[in-house]
């Protein structure tokens, strides 16, 4: 229980620092330098050295500010939204079986990481960042999977027309 209370204390310190972060934040990767300054002057002072805040969204707000955090949120949650929308619209009709299986698994993994980021720092771990970036690319690209099959069918329609003309 003690670790949990320290995490809550650290979140309170970070929340107190947010007004000073402004629109653009303190800068990417500055948490380790900025946090001790606010921790020392805090009523909720947390013992120890904090390399990461155990709440990725709050750390992102501190480092990237409101503008940068909005861009990251649009990139991340926009990809999940596009992935779900593409799956619901086109999976049964236009996708290969492999894509129909892959897309839900990718979405589940991204939602899992998003929930994990509420209580820990998965977005700060390079190996997880690699997976997340790959899965985000799959989700963003899934909106094009349908269009590629349409292009193929249009090409075959055009070749049928040219054959009948000759």
| pLDDT score at 164 | 55
> What gap in Å lies between CA 27 and CA 38, rounded to an integer?
15
What is the model's pTM?
0.82
**Residue 116 DSSP one-character state:** H
Mean pLDDT, rounded, for 68-82: 98
Count other Cβ atoms within 10 Å, centred on residue 42.
17
| Alpha-carbon span 133 to 118, nearest angstrom | 19
Confidence of residue 3 (pLDDT cuts 50, 70, 90): low
Give the residue with greater pLDDT, 154 vs 114: 114
The pLDDT tens digits for 7-50 are 999 999 999 999 999 999 999 999 999 999 999 988 879 999 99
What are the structural domain ranges in the chain? 2-165
Rounded mean pLDDT, 130-152: 82
Q: What pLDDT was estimated at residue 43?
A: 86
77: pLDDT strictly greater than 80: yes
For range 112-136, the mean pLDDT: 97
């Amino acid at each position: 229980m003690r670790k949990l209370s320290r995490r809550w204390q650290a979140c309170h310190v970070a929340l107190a620092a947010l007004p000073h972060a402004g629109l653009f934040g303190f800068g990417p990767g500055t948490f380790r330098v900025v946090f001790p300054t606010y921790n020392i002057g805090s009523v909720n002072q947390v013992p120890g050295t904090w390399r990461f805040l155990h709440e990725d969204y709050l750390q992102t707000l501190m480092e990237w500010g409101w503008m940068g955090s909005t861009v990251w949120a649009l990139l991340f949650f926009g990809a999940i939204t596009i992935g779900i929308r593409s799956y619901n619209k086109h999976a049964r009709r236009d996708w290969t079986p492999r894509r129909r299986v892959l897309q839900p698994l990718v979405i589940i993994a991204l939602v899992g990481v998003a929930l994990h980021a509420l209580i820990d720092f998965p977005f700060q771990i390079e190996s997880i960042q690699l997976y997340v970036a790959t899965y985000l690319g799959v989700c963003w690209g899934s909106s094009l999977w349908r269009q590629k099959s349409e292009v193929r069918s249009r090409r075959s329609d055009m070749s049928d027309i040219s054959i009948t003309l000759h």
